[in-house]
Amino acid sequence: MSTELKDDLRRFLHWGPITLLTLLLIVTWTVIHMNSMWWAPDTSLESVLNYALIWVQTFGTLYNFIRSLMVGPGFVPLKWHPPVRKDKKFLQFCTRCNGYKAPRSHHCQRCGRCVMKMDHHCPWINTCVGWSNQDSFVYFLLFFMSGSIQGGIIIVSAVTRGIQKRWLIRHGLHHMATVHLTQTNLMACVFSLGVIMGTTLASITLLYMQLKVILKNQTEIDLWIVKKAAFRRNAYPQKRIKDFVYPYNLGWKANIREVFLSSGDGISWPVLPGCDEYSLTREQLQQKKDKRARTRVFRCIRPATGHWLPIFSQGLWVSFHIPCPHGSRIALEPDDIIHVTRIQECWLYGERMITEKEKVEMRRRKGAIRGWFPSCCAVEECEDYDSENDLAGGEPVEEQDSDQEILELLRNLHAPAC
């Protein structure tokens, strides 16, 4: 068995896919059981079509779910670099993948790779939604939503018929008094109905977000870059920065074809006239430069565990003010230097600088290197550190001859486990 196939199968061993498949099994069993009493498939042609539709939507959901998970979003090859050497200056370098980030690609900490046209990391499929699997993900949401709606209608109708069973018998409608409610199937119906309501709302929300992404050809990350581009120009009007034009919105028809009928490679993308393939990446690099200019340097004075809720180490107050449930946490040791870019009450977001010991030993400490940590664990430093030479994986590092030694050291560092 190939390594790639093992990695694909390993994605199933996660709480997201296991939970989703378990709930799908319970709800499908409940729907089929109640449908067999409420509208048995051998009573009419319509009942056969209804029964067939249940299985079509079930298999459609399973097929597109498995395809989204197994195919994956598409990863930028390790050690990738642009065909034209001079184009490297327009791209960010990822030290974890030891290569350059292709246009529209971003490094996912959970996947441990740079993802082509990354939209977001979905825990339910235990991988990212990106170039290769966005169409399957949308189909999965459509089948899941329509199947949930049909299942909800069947369960409600069957339970209603079961509650009215005595009334139907008294009025001589014995042919309709076919639903027999028991404690087991009634509990299964209540549970399944709750699951259906929750998943239907979630599916509608996700489907709406994906349709916006597809129609504008603008992923959630692209949208964030565009917002920051507008902020740069509004915040510094005196600099007269040239207006930024998002290069990938080709019109809704072309955008739809790109997602569902695309035969591209996930690296090169068609752009609007007047733009080129590096229009977005140049804006990203400038935003990173501005971000580094705003960076504040902190020094760790007490250990940070890297736990999501550091109740025992930092107390309840810090734990009750968690900044972002989807943001990673970093573990720190005294005297670590952190480049902080976001400050919130009780928490700071930054990137730990690689220590000299890690460079010498060619080995990096376990755990994330960029994320949130309690503000009480660090104090701001007045001394100015050279951030360009000590950035960790994910930040842009321009490959220059004067920095070659440090780059070679960074490339050989092992990526932390996600």
Given 151, 183, 216, the domain boundary residue is 216
Give yes or no for a contact between 118 and 125, defined as CB atoms under 8 angstroms apart. Answer: no
Q: What is the mean pLDDT of the chain?
A: 86
Tens digit of each residue's pLDDT (9 = 90 or more) over 184-215: 999 999 999 999 999 999 999 999 999 999 99
Q: Are residues 204 and 347 in the same domain?
A: no
Question: pLDDT-based confidence at 1, cuts 50/70/90?
Answer: low
Q: Which of 216, 251, 268 is the last residue of a domain?
A: 216
- CB neighbour list of residue 256: distance below 8 Å, 6 or more residues apart: 214, 215
Phi, psi of 372 (to 5 degrees): -90, 150
Alpha helices in 11-133 (DSSP H): 15-38, 45-71
Q: What is the mean pLDDT of residues 252-280?
A: 92
Give the domain-ending residue among 216, 247, 280: 216
The answer to whether residue 86 sits within a structural domain is no
Mean pLDDT value across residues 173-189: 92
Write the pLDDT tens digit of every residue in 336-365. 999 998 888 888 999 999 888 887 777 778
Q: Are 256 and 215 in contact (CB under 8 A)?
A: yes
User: What mean pLDDT is predicted for residues 241-269?
Assistant: 92
113-132 confidence digits (pLDDT tens): 999 999 999 999 999 999 99
Query: At residue 392, does pLDDT exceed 80?
Result: no
Please give the angle made by the CA atoms of 18, 21 and 24, to the nearest 5 degrees. 145
**Least confident segment among 45-49, 167-171, 399-403:** 399-403
Query: Whole-prediction pTM value?
Result: 0.79
215: enclosing H helix or E strand:
helix 183-216
Amino acid at 241: I
- Helical residues (DSSP H) of 39-182, grouped into ranges: 45-71, 134-163, 165-170
Residue 206 shares a structural domain with residue 309:
no
CA-only gyration radius of the chain, Å: 27
DSSP track, 266-322: SS-----TT--TTHHHHHHHHHHHHHHHH-EEEEE-S-B---SS-HHHH-HHHHHT-
CATH number at residue 360: 2.30.30.40
103: in domain: no
Domain co-membership, 210 together with 330: no
| 245 occurs within a structural domain | no
Residue 281 within any structural domain of the chain: no
Q: Specify the pLDDT at position 385.
A: 43
In this prediction, residue 404 has a pLDDT band, given cuts at 50, 70 and 90, of very low
CA dist., res. 339 & res. 348, Å (int): 10
- Out of 134-143, 194-203, 388-397, which region has the weakest mean confidence (pLDDT)? 388-397
Whether residues 175 and 320 fall in one domain: no
Question: What CA dihedral angle connects 65, 73, 412 and 373, to 10 degrees?
Answer: -70
Shared domain for 199 and 323, answered yes or no, is no
Residue 324 is predicted with a pLDDT of 58
- More reliable by pLDDT, 288 or 248: 248
Q: Tokens 């109740």 sit at which residue? A: 311
Q: Quick check: 91 and 102 in contact, CB under 8 A?
A: yes
The answer to whether 255 touches 215, Cβ cutoff 8 Å, is: yes
Q: Indicate if 51 and 171 belong to the same structural domain.
A: yes
Q: pLDDT tens across 141-165, in order? A: 999 999 999 999 999 999 999 999 9
What is the rounded CA–CA span in Å between residue 391 and residue 361?
Answer: 17
Does residue 91 belong to any structural domain of this protein? no
Number of domains in the chain: 2
Query: Which amino acid, one-letter code, is at 230?
Result: A
The domain of 154 spans 3-74+116-216
3-state helix, strand, coil in the chain (%, to 5): 50, 10, 40
User: Is 80 exceeded by the pLDDT of residue 397?
Assistant: no
What gap in Å lies between CA 218 and CA 209, rounded to an integer? 11
Q: Which pLDDT belongs to residue 386?
A: 44
Per-residue pLDDT tens digits for 36-82: 999 998 889 999 999 999 999 999 999 999 999 999 999 999 999 99
Q: Is residue 243 part of a domain?
A: no
Closest CA to 163 of 148, 188, 150, 182: 182
Q: Do 76 and 267 form a contact (C-beta atoms < 8 A)?
A: yes
In a domain, 299, yes or no: yes
**Which of the residues 108, 111, 114, 122 is marked catalytic?**
122
Co-location of 299 and 186 in the same domain: no
Q: Is there a single domain that holds both residue 209 and residue 321?
A: no
Check if 122 is active-site: yes
| Contact by Cβ (8 Å): 46, 53 | no
Please give the torsion angle defined by the CA atoms of residues 146, 148, 150 and 152, in that order, rounded to the nearest 10 degrees.
Answer: -150
Single-letter code of the amino acid located at 139 = Y
Could you give the CA distance from residue 188 to residue 292 in angstroms, rounded to a whole number?
55
Q: Best-predicted range by mean pLDDT among 17-21, 92-96, 308-312, 394-398?
A: 17-21
| pLDDT-derived band at 2, boundaries 50, 70, 90 | low
Tell me: do 204 and 301 sit in the same domain. Answer: no
CA–CA gap between residue 359 and residue 236 (Å, rounded): 38
Cβ atoms of 283 and 277 within 8 Å: the answer is no
Q: How confident is the model at residue 401 (pLDDT cuts 50, 70, 90)?
A: very low
* 386 domain-assigned: no
